[in-house]
Amino acid sequence: VDGRVVVIGGGFGGATAAKYIKRANPNVAVTLVEPNATFYTCPFSNLYLGGIREFEEIGHGYDELRNVYGVEVVHTLAEDIDPVAHRVQLANGTTLEYDKLVMSPGIDMRWNAIEGYDEAAAELAPHAWKAGAQTQILKRQLEAMPNGGLFVMVAPPNPYRCPPGPYERASMVAHYFKENKPDSKILILDPKDAFSKQGLFTDGWNQLYPGMIEWVGLSNDGRVVRVDAARREVETEFGTRHQASVLNVIPAQKAGWIADRAGVTDASGWVPVQARTFESQQVPDIYVIGDATVAAPMPKSGFCANSQAKVAAAAIVSALDGRSAPNPYFTNTCYSLIGPEYGVSVAAIYNLNTEGNIQAVAGAGGLSPSTGDASLRRAEAMNAHRWYDAICQDAWG
Ligand code: FAD
């Protein structure tokens, strides 16, 4: 054995890291700790809400990691970390020792950042910002809603998981309404004054769902300060109340709680990392990837988590072999579906600048053109499906 690696979290970052460490050196013993036997992806969970993907189509298991790559997969929670002794305490009572630890725990909600929005409230007014049971609650509520009802979404403040995600969700809910409940309306209350791909979304909404979606930003009293989940009512900063038929509250976020236990978070609630390796700036031998990290200008996306996982895997395999880490670069594309045949995207390549910080490579990315015609939007929608299949294949097989 050339070293022992424990990976916490079997999502986009963790599953990819486990696989790529084994691909680079099969003699490294890799244990993946993930409570769920099936991982449901947030990517395409909006398509499930829109009625264009089945729930089971966004679920992925760990057979390939186990059977093809020889990763030991343990379905339990990591409960505590001793960074000095290099040990992980699991909820099933066992302790794992590591030479290198990878953490990709994703996000947790900041409960009560909006008054009245806590874990119990999320059962009534789901966030659906972790895919699985939450997504299904939201879907059932949309299905039970009468034609002519109002879907209210409370959008999150920066930084949060998937910058275009709320607006893709509004689009997919609009698609569902157009097909099934055409008199219904959508209100997005936003604590920001601008959002990702805003011009492209607004154009798409005007074309596909004229008059159905209203977006209210910060300057127009878009910030919600109180939620009454039982009544599905929200109150804004300046006292306006909105009553919803279905209420989707996406609160402020922070790194998954296990990152706190490891001592890798800072005052922001997120994890500062060394850009070259994604090793924690605060604790040696712990590599943190994905949404939990501070990696701006990279967004918190599944594609970024996957890209960072490969960089961390290469750095870990190199370090275990006494070599220095290769010079990294990263990729990201975020596709959003506005309609089933109407896709838009934003893409970027990143490398390190002379100070060693992550920067977007000039001229190497960009947005879908605002002047794109129907055939381009259709091609991007097809590419979104291909992207999903490819990245899930890459992470879970
Ligand atoms: P996750 O994928 O969430 O994985 C974290 C894993 O860690 C989970 O499986 C969890 O069970 C596990 N875990 C947590 N704590 C512990 C613990 N203590 N012990 C063991 N395991 C633990 N990204 C894109 O690139 N493209 C998209 O189109 C896209 N669409 C999205 C749409 C929506 C609606 C949302 C909400 C997000 C979307 N994203 C998209 C973002 C994407 O889902 C995240 O960026 C991605 O999941 C981050 O990967 P991660 O590994 O950091 O976290």
The tokens describing 12, both together, are 């986009």
The tokens describing 67, both together, are 């059977």
Q: Report the separation in Å between the CA atom of 367 and the middle of ligand 1, taken as the mean of its atom positions.
A: 23
Report pLDDT for 10. 98
Report pLDDT for 326. 95
The tokens describing 4, both together, are 């022992």
Which residues touch 345 (CB under 8 Å, ≥6 apart)?
333, 334, 335, 336, 367, 368, 380, 383, 384
Do you know the residue count of the chain?
Answer: 397
Report pLDDT for 303. 98
Report pLDDT for 224. 98
Residue 100 vs residues 12, 35, 107, 114, 309: alpha-carbon distances, Å: 19, 20, 22, 37, 14
The tokens describing 55, both together, are 């729930």
Place of tokens 């300060």: 225
**Dihedral sign computed on CA atoms, order 211, 214, 220, 226:** positive
Q: Which residue has the least CA distance to atom 7 on ligand 1? A: 9
Pocket of ligand 1 (CB under 6 A): 8-14, 33-36, 39, 42-43, 45-46, 77-78, 104-106, 129, 161-162, 165, 169, 256, 258, 290-292, 300-303, 305, 334-335
Q: Report the separation in Å between the CA atom of 182 and the middle of ligand 1, taken as the mean of its atom positions.
A: 32
Which residues touch 133 (CB under 8 Å, ≥6 apart)?
none
Report pLDDT for 209. 98
Q: Report the separation in Å between the CA atom of 238 and the middle of ligand 1, taken as the mean of its atom positions.
A: 34
Atom of ligand 1 nearest to the CA of 333: 25
Per-residue pLDDT of the chain (397 residues; tens, 9 = 90+): 899 999 999 999 999 999 999 999 999 999 999 999 999 999 999 999 999 999 999 999 999 999 999 999 999 999 999 999 999 999 999 999 999 999 999 999 999 999 999 999 999 999 999 999 999 999 999 999 999 999 999 999 999 999 999 999 999 999 999 999 999 999 999 999 999 999 999 999 999 999 999 999 999 999 999 999 999 999 999 999 999 999 999 999 999 999 999 999 999 999 999 999 999 999 999 999 999 999 999 999 999 999 999 999 999 999 999 999 999 999 999 999 999 999 999 999 999 999 999 999 999 999 999 999 999 999 999 999 999 999 999 999 9
Atom of ligand 1 nearest to the CA of 290: 52
Report pLDDT for 288. 99
For residue 228, give the H/E element and its range: strand 224-228
Q: Report the separation in Å between the CA atom of 260 and the middle of ligand 1, taken as the mean of its atom positions.
A: 17
For residue 225, give the H/E element and its range: strand 224-228
Q: Which residue has the least CA distance to atom 46 on ligand 1? A: 302
Each as own residue / partner, the long-range contacts of residues 372-381 (CB below 8 Å, 24 or more positions apart, any chain) are 372/344, 374/341, 374/342, 377/204, 377/338, 377/341, 377/342, 377/343, 377/344, 378/341, 378/342, 378/343, 379/343, 380/335, 380/343, 380/344, 380/345, 381/337, 381/339, 381/340, 381/341, 381/342, 381/343
Q: Report the separation in Å between the CA atom of 270 and the middle of ligand 1, taken as the mean of its atom positions.
A: 15
Probe residue for ligand 1, chosen from 162, 278, 307, 310 as the CB with the greatest number of ligand atoms within 8 Å: 162
Q: Report the separation in Å between the CA atom of 130 and the middle of ligand 1, taken as the mean of its atom positions.
A: 7
- Whether ipTM exceeds 0.90: yes
347, 353 contact by CB (below 8 A)? no
Query: 106: phi > 0 → left, psi -120 to 50 → alpha, else beta; which?
Result: left
Report pLDDT for 284. 98
Probe residue for ligand 1, chosen from 291, 308, 331 as the CB with the greatest number of ligand atoms within 8 Å: 291
Q: Report the separation in Å between the CA atom of 239 and the middle of ligand 1, taken as the mean of its atom positions.
A: 34
Probe residue for ligand 1, chosen from 7, 8, 12 as the CB with the greatest number of ligand atoms within 8 Å: 12
For residue 187, give the H/E element and its range: strand 185-189
Q: Which residue has the least CA distance to atom 30 on ligand 1? A: 43
Atom of ligand 1 nearest to the CA of 45: 34
With H, G, I as helix, E, B as strand and everything else as coil, classify residue 119.
Answer: coil
The tokens describing 393, both together, are 């294949």
Report pLDDT for 190. 98
Give φ, ψ of 151 to 5 degrees.
Answer: -95, 120
CA–CA distance, 341 with 317 (Å, rounded to integer): 42
Tell me if the bond preceding 105 is cis, omega within 30° of 0.
Answer: no
Task: Name the H helices within the chain.
Answer: 12-24, 45-50, 63-67, 121-124, 133-144, 165-180, 198-208, 258-262, 302-320, 374-396
330, 350 contact by CB (below 8 A)? yes
With H, G, I as helix, E, B as strand and everything else as coil, classify residue 235.
Answer: strand
* pTM higher than 0.90: yes
**Dihedral sign computed on CA atoms, order 310, 316, 321, 325:** positive
